[in-house]
Structure 1
């Protein structure tokens, strides 16, 4: 389904459909929770849901779209290995199977969407409306072109979306929301509590003497896992990227000048022109209008007004040639003299007349000023072209069991030697190890391998490779007490303070429950009592952490209890609990009904989609799926 159509949908039910689809996408229920059959073959159909096929082209398009969305969110390029690690291919196939299941059900039920309904939906889409608020056909085609779509595909997808919404509407429209549910949510969200709080700082525990050898040994024996040294590995890494192969000094001046001339516009400010455009239904109408303008019978603006264009729509903007979407329009506009009108131009979206009302001359830096930059770019391009050849040579050397250190020396490439690193990227002193390329990918791979393994190269985001050798493995071990004595003393002291605070807080809470005055108990304990009111659930207030507030809400009014509060503890007595009365039909209740109805509809629709897939039957061709993704699955 088109992402742009999804985003454009403002219908609350459409949002539910999409949220359910993405819930299946993430959980994998859409495919992997139902019966599936994997088979080989050369078919281009990746899967079928009932009689509805999912083609390899649909899979490729959906995969690339989803990959681009992830990369935009993460603001980094994902390698095929990283995409596999997050289950991207499973998510995409789950999404497509869910949509196919809904399409199959609409077909089974005979649901159909009229041409008029599709046309109305397209014309009502805000993305296709011009400055005057009406549907703009030129904008429509430009948007489709940028998305790599044609009109037929867009209309077909829009028709499918509308049919799915009709089906969902029939299933979940006007779901009742029980009053008992609304009352329970009301009580939970509106209850407010008050309490008197005594905060016990670590100093309340008193002076903690040094532990005896027996006590320290006992603590160490009970917490050995906390003092265990992780596994460390010694690694050799060979990173091959175009930057490492680029040799700017080897680029001749002749080659550099040729590259400069071919891309001169990049080394300065390009010429920009202010361009006006009037669209016509055909060339004859455009030529007739041009004749009127040239003869002086009608000015350019009058012809535009007769075509229903206001001044804002008349002007394309002040643009460089490279910024113009239509090459034909660009060529014509940048061949005009200022103030003149073009002959009819047959562009991608119809016939137009152009006029240039302003020209901002461009400027280009001389070759001598950018020679170093040009040589670097030429060297990088050559290096990228030769990257595969070097990669193959390294792979051949690896196949002959050569270690990376020897390969790096032979080919003049830098070797990254990591003396000792754990799976978190830290050295034995606990400091981050610098110089590990693409650490999130390299370290997990290195810790899955073993000494002497024939490891597979990892791909970098720039198309290079990372080879790695595990030189040595230092197993995880228990550190003896003598090695971690200082750490063990700190741990024992902290545990002793906590034990004393727990005992003290229990004692104070028991005294409060027996009816002693809070002020008297606080004064005797050497702390200050503080009254807090209007506490809400899951909200930190007055330096009270959420753990304390959560405990206050599960403690009966008039009772005392305690909870951890940072490095200390808080002892409290609940003094009040209030909540406004539940009144059906109020604006707050209406808002709650709408929210709960959406949640209920989400659940119902999710169950329906799962049942549709189960009854229709899902068949997946694993071999075709792998081919559709170029063998990256």
Structure 2
């Protein structure tokens, strides 16, 4: 073989290939040869800039974490579609790259010091109002980010935000535009409307078999049954296992001894104080003298609470007679706490100096918690023992069910082994059934699993909640079928009746509308009177929304009224008339109101400008997807 290689390497083809390689190396370097075989694995490029697979994976992971956090503590990761998350992440990264390139093309930059300041000022990274590096690291770790990754993301978002702010802050509107919008917003109209229902027209509808057949033939795709499955399942319910638990009195006593062993007696001290503040206007000596004077007055028999209300400088406790409630150890370290724990119930301290000033402290009450008696906690201990034992049985049975369901071809053996009943559920569609089992998304997903349907396998255990686990088997798969015309005849009859009644009502009111537009007097229609409303504004909620929308689209009447015929959501029809348009008096509008309106309109104009720029950048960008 080596000889063959040597012989062939002397041929003209081999020499040409070697020559091309030498020229490629000389002109472009070794990277050019590597790139011929390796290629790029970037999922997308934007104007030649690659979006790496790593960026997509990190973004998808971050989005997945956010979705699970929003779903709560019982979130089921299997509900998330990784393909959809990846696609959404890639779309977002492409848009971000387009906007980032737009910002950098405007020579926008941000200094590292500014990014550091943003990080330090972020509330999520603070503990007690101060930036905490450990907290910073922990938050990023939970989000799946490193400090460098987060700083890079922050840089990109900040640059994009700068350009957006540039558009928002540079947009403006003229005073005349703001006044015109305010005039339209405050404009009122005098309206009249009459509503006519379908009922009378439905009674006059006559349908032939040909009408039904024609509609059925044209809409057969609308008359299909849903795909359904009928399942049978085994359910382990922790609540049903309670009957298997027996209470062990000796174990109860052991629980009680453990409870006593870890019990700690705690003191609860109820404290009141009178505070004399040391401030710029009251020096230390003056504050101490006042505190000593109050001490003498207390010794002479004056009421502590009344004295605190009158003399204490603590605005939080003074109205309550100096009451601080139950004192928690560590609330005020140092002399204050030492004084509190040196007092007996009812005693009053000498003036105590702290950073706030001088305090006269009174221990108003003292309680000491004692170890509980057995009878006091017996019910609690029984509940704990039952919970622990039922949890153990539950875990064991779920484990057995898992093994038996995997090794069995049906549910008969697991049911017999675990003494469970096989429950049969009524057929249900992908929208779920009528009970909490078949309406559970996890059950629906398993029931419509192609492998379970095709091979008749038992499912993996499905945890419905913290106390229920089940295994199911698809008993029957009911494929969609075309419903016959006879089956859907009542449904088609209702559809066509409403449709033809609506057409008849529309034609009838169109004729009335034409007369009104020609100047006819407004009279009741089909016995229904016209409703009148004067000076209604755009935000009026007393009239039907469809009527209000139509009324403010109609032109200002030159004489008489302007009219419109509209369909309501319930199938009824209404003729709407505008009899007058009332313009507001803007002379009463303050300059502040006008300024606020200009700001709102400017922001909206900036948003529209930025959106238009964004769309233009997207259309102009050369985006290639892998």
- The question of 1:595 aligning with 2:610 is answered no
Counterpart check, 1:79 vs 2:76: yes
Q: Note the C-alpha offset of 1:200.
A: 0.9
**Kept in 2: contact 1:238–1:414 (CA 8 A):** yes
Question: 1:599-622: CA deviations, max 9, x gaps?
Answer: 56667778789989x99x9999xx
Between the two structures, name the one with larger relative contact order (CA 8 Å, sep ≥ 6).
1
Alignment of structure 1 residues 258-297 onto 2, 5 Å: 258-259=254-255, 262=258
Q: Who is 1:177 aligned against?
A: 172
Whole-Å Cα distance in 2 between the matches of residues 579 and 200 of structure 1? 31
Match of 1:533 in 2: 534
1:605-616 to structure 2, matched below 5 A, reads none
- Alignment map for 1:143-158 (pairs within 5 Å): none
Q: Is the contact between residue 457 and residue 467 of structure 1 (CA under 8 Å) also seen in structure 2?
A: yes
- Structural mapping, 1:95-494, within 5 Å: 109=109, 111-113=111-113, 168=161, 172-173=165-166, 174-179=169-174, 182=178, 186=182, 189-205=185-201, 207-208=203-204, 211-222=207-218, 224=220, 228-240=224-236, 243=239, 249-250=245-246, 252-259=248-255, 262=258, 318=326, 358-359=365-366, 364=372, 366-383=376-393, 387=395, 391=398, 393-426=400-433, 433-436=434-437, 439-449=440-450, 450-452=453-455, 454=457, 455=459, 457-462=461-466, 465-494=469-498
Q: Which residue of 2 aligns with 1:624?
A: none
**Structure 1 position 547 matched with structure 2 position 546:** yes
Please report the TM-score for the alignment, with normalisation by the length of structure 1. 0.58
Between 233-242 and 360-369, report the one with greater CA deviation: 360-369
In 2, distance between residues paired with 1:368 and 1:222?
A: 73
How far residue 562 of structure 1 moved from its aligned partner, in angstroms, is: 1.6
Residue 550 to residue 63, structure 1, CA distance change in 2 (3 Å): same
Contact 1:66 1:92 in 2 (8 A): no
**C-alpha separation in 1, matches of 2:316 and 2:475:** 68
Q: CA offsets per residue over residues 312-344 of structure 1, 9 Å max, x none? A: 5999964899xx99xx99xx99x9787599xxx
For the 8 Å contact 1:79–1:460, the answer to whether it is kept is no
Q: Deviations over 1:98-157 (max 9, x none)?
A: 9999999999935144799679958xx7999xxxxxxxx86759999799669xx99998
- Count how many residue pairs are aligned between Structure 1 and Structure 2: 497
Checking the alignment, whether the CA contact within 8 Å between 2:228 and 2:479 is kept in structure 1 is yes
Q: Give, in angstroms, the shift of residue 470 of structure 1.
A: 2.0
2:51 corresponds to which residue?
Answer: 36
Contact 1:246 1:383 in 2 (8 A): no
Question: What is the match of residue 305 of structure 1?
Answer: none
1:564 and 2:554 are equivalent in the alignment: no
Distance 1:118 1:207 in 2: 71
Conserved 8 A contact 1:538-1:550? no
For each residue in 1:25-64, what CA deviation from the matched residue of structure 2 results, as whole angstroms up to 9, or x when unmatched?
xxxxxx98965333xxxxxxx5499xxxx799xx67x865
**Distance 1:79-1:457 versus aligned 2 partners, 3 A rule:** same
Cα displacement (A) at 1:418? 0.8
Tell me if structure 2 keeps the 8 A contact 1:560–1:572: yes
* Structure 1 stretch displaced more, 200-209 or 139-148: 139-148
Q: Please state whether the residue corresponding to 1:235 is helix, strand or coil.
A: strand
Q: Secondary structure at the match of 1:229?
A: coil
Instruction: Tell whether the 8 Å contact from 2:202 to 2:497 is kept in structure 1 after alignment.
Output: no
1:215 CA drift (Å): 4.1
**Secondary structure, aligned partner of 1:518:** coil
Q: RMSD between aligned alpha carbons?
A: 6.2
SS at match of 2:51: coil
Aligned partner of residue 432 in structure 2, secondary structure: coil
C-alpha distance in 2 between matches for 1:252 and 1:112: 66
CA–CA distance in structure 2, aligned partners of residues 214 and 320 of structure 1:
86
CA contact (8 A) 1:248 1:376 kept: no
Deviation string 1:376-433 (CA, Å, 9 cap, x unpaired) is: 221244246xx3x65554444444352235423322345442122233335xxxxxx2
Equivalent-residue separation in structure 2 for 1:600 and 1:189 (angstroms): 17
Task: Say which SS state the counterpart of residue 190 (structure 2) adopts.
Answer: strand
Q: In the TM superposition, what is the alpha-carbon distance from 1:596 to its structure 2 partner?
A: 4.2
> For 2:511, which of 504, 507, 511 is the aligned residue?
507
| CA 1:472–1:199: 2 relative to 1, 3 Å | same
CA-to-aligned-CA distance 1:160-179 (integer Å, 9 cap, x gap): 97997698457625322244
Distance 1:605 1:571, change over 3 A: closer
Q: Which ranges of structure 1 fall in alignment gaps of 5 or more residues? A: 1-30, 39-45, 129-136, 278-295, 300-308, 342-353, 427-432, 621-633
* 2:500 aligned partner: 496
Alpha-carbon distance in structure 1 between the residues aligned to 2:615 and 2:259: 54
Q: TM-score, normalised by structure 2?
A: 0.58
